[in-house]
Amino acid sequence: METRDWIRDGLRAVATGLLTMVLAIMNIPLFVFFVLGLVLTPVLGLGLVILPAATALIRFRADLARRLAGWWGVPIARPYRPRPEGSLPIGWGAFRRIVTEQATWRDFAWLLPGAVVGLALGIITLALPAYGLEGVLLLPLWLYLGGVWYGYGVNWPIESVGQGFLSLPQGVLILMLGLVVAPYLRRFDALFNRLLLGPTRAAELRLRVSQLTVTRADAVDAQAAELRRIERDLHDGAQARLASLGMTIGLAEELVERDPATARKLLAEARESSSDALTELRHLVRGIHPPVLAERGLDGAVRALALTLRIPTSVDSTLAVRLETPVESAAYFAVAECLANMVRHSGATFAYVSLRLENDVLRMEVGDDGHGGADPARGTGLAGMERRLAAFDGTMSVSSPSGGPTIVTMELPCASSSPRTMLSSGTD
């Protein structure tokens, strides 16, 4: 298995090496095209058309380089600012946008060095395995032609059949070396490309800021809506009940001597009313932060929830630590929403929840054997959940083909807090 893996990686690297060389050569006409656009700007405004076109091509080319780098474990983010809505792709506005954008010039600066490095590394990537292959295939050729001008490796020229045979192991070694080295060369190429094609620290921060602005606005909206809901629930529910409770008790107090029978009836009513108020508060609390979540953490809370679902649900969790409270709560409500959707819509007879914490990423999977067809774009529940997770840089993906099964996968980055043993009072 492992042998096959490095051979496959090596071959893949050689193939991408070849592709990279072809693409690297393309950099030269792109460079010329861009310079032409710059030079022709004063002439009839031709640059206003040429430069945006050249830039679009260069960006396409740079995106290819970014994607290739991603294959070799060097992700390069796109540094470009999005085109403002309703703006034209060519003309003065586009020209100004392009010229004032730093990424344009970094791409431009990359074109030639990128081509040189890409070609050079590509040649090494190809040459090593090619030379190895030659060694492997040389012997029959040498026998056939019988020429003494052939040489290989340490034997130069090859003078006997014995030396001819020696080219075989040498060739195998060099071929292996070439395949082992090729992925590293690709990685090196990718790292070089990242120097200029990746966003600068400033651009990275700008992208992050625009993303945070959106998620913060969503989080603030959601929080405000939540507070409004709680306020309304308290006002119409528990508060009103407690007020009436006070009145009933007051009335009973008045009547206790004159009409003890009625007073007793009022007191019984008051007790019932207090019990109703408590029930309402309990439901409200469960919606804000379920007590079992505070007591047992995500793992226990999900287990407790699974026990009360109509559809048998198994919970498989390896969480050994308590998470940060906000993360725990977001994760719980996300899982709860998935399960609620499942109970309402899926027609499933069985469901499962899996919780894993690896490398400070909480991975949650909720699946069922129902008829599928869940669409996050349609249901407000799933979309809201996605927004809530986004506030924690979390992501959600739904796989729900028609006919099922449905699998929702959510990931939340989280630094775990105290180990769980700290939370149970030493009794277990």
Partner 1 sequence: MRVVIAEDHALLRDGLTRILQAFDFEVIAVVDNGPSVLPTLLEQKPDVAVLDVRLPPTFTDEGLQAAIAARAEVPGLPVLVLSQHVEPLYARELLSDRRGGVGYLLKDRVSDVAHFVDAVQQVAGGGTVMDPEVVARLLERNRPLDVLTAREREVLGEMAAGRSNAAIAGRLFVTEKAVSKHINNIFTKLGLPPSEDDNRRVLAVLAYLDS
Binding-site size, partner 1 (CB under 8 A):
28
Rounded CA-CA distance 210/110 in Å is 26
Residue selected from 226, 254, 295, 393 as contacting partner 1 according to rule CB under 8 A:
295
Q: How far is the CB of 272 from partner 1 (least distance, A)?
A: 9
First to last CA, the chain: 44
Does 284 bind partner 1 (CB under 8 A)? Our answer is no
> How many C-beta neighbours within 10 Å does residue 52 have?
20
Mark 355-388 as b/e (b = at least 16 C-beta within 10 Å): bebeeeebebbbbbbbbbebebeebebbebbbbb
The 3-state secondary structure of 64-95 reads HHHHHHHHCCCCCCCCCCCCCCCCCCCCHHHH
When binding is defined by CB under 8 A, the residue of 43, 149, 310, 359 that contacts partner 1 is 310
Helical axes 201-234 vs 102-145, angle rounded to 10°: 120
For partner 1, give the closer residue by CB, 312 or 401: 312
Residues 384-413 contacting partner 1, CB under 8 A: none
DSSP 311: S
Compare residues 19 and 294 and give the one whose CB is closer to partner 1. 294
Element (H, E) at 413: strand 406-413
Residues 6+ apart with CB under 8 A from 65: 23, 76, 114, 193, 197
Please, which of residues 312-331 interact with partner 1 by CB under 8 A? 312
**Nearer to partner 1 (CB atom), residue 50 or residue 315:** 315
Q: Which of 5, 43, 162, 308 binds partner 1 (CB under 8 A)?
A: 308
Q: Is 303 one of the binding residues for partner 1 (CB under 8 A)? A: yes
Between 271 and 378, CB nearer to partner 1:
271
Does 296 bind partner 1 (CB under 8 A)? Our answer is yes
| Of residues 358 and 428, the one with the C-beta less far from partner 1 | 428
61 contact partners, CB below 8 Å, separation of at least 6 = 23, 26, 27, 30
Show Cβ contacts of residue 117 under 8 Å, excluding neighbours closer than 6 positions.
189, 192
The answer to the question of residue 282 lying near partner 1 (CB under 8 A) is: yes
Q: Which stretch binds partner 1 (CB under 8 A): 179-187, 192-200, 283-291, 326-334?
A: 283-291
Site string for partner 1, 233-272 (x = CB under 8 A): --------------------------------------x-
Cα distance between residue 375 and residue 385, in whole Å: 13
427 binds partner 1 (CB under 8 A): yes
For residue 67, give Cα distances in angstroms to 5, 12, 16, 80: 21, 14, 11, 15
When binding is defined by CB under 8 A, the residue of 53, 292, 321, 340 that contacts partner 1 is 292
Among 78, 61, 70, which residue's Cα sits nearest to residue 25? 61
Check residue 379 for interaction with partner 1 (CB under 8 A).
Answer: no
List of E strands, 243-401: 313-317, 351-358, 361-368, 395-399
Which of 172, 304, 321, 340 touches partner 1 (CB under 8 A)? 304
Q: Which is nearer to partner 1, 75 or 291 (CB)?
A: 291
Which of the ranges 167-175, 219-227, 244-252, 279-287 carries the binding residues for partner 1, by CB under 8 A?
A: 279-287
- CA–CA distance, 38 with 149 (Å, rounded to integer): 53
Q: Which of 83, 235, 286, 378 binds partner 1 (CB under 8 A)?
A: 286
Q: What is the C-alpha to C-alpha distance for residues 327 and 364, in angstroms, rounded to an integer?
A: 12
Contact segment (CB under 8 A) with partner 1 among 97-105, 182-190, 288-296, 324-332 equals: 288-296
Q: How far is CA 96 from CA 25, 86, 92, 283, in A?
A: 28, 16, 6, 58
CA 81 vs. chain centroid, Å, equals 20
**Residue among 89, 169, 291, 401 that touches partner 1 (CB under 8 A):** 291
When the beta carbons of 179 and 277 are compared against partner 1, the nearer one is 277
The span of 157-165, 293-301, 364-372, 379-387 binding partner 1 (CB under 8 A) equals: 293-301
Contact call for residue 285 and partner 1 (CB under 8 A): yes
Give strand pairing partners of 413. Answer: 361
| CB-nearer residue toward partner 1: 115 or 335 | 335
Binding site for partner 1 (CB under 8 A): 271, 274-275, 278-279, 282, 285-286, 291-292, 294-296, 300, 303-304, 307-312, 423-428
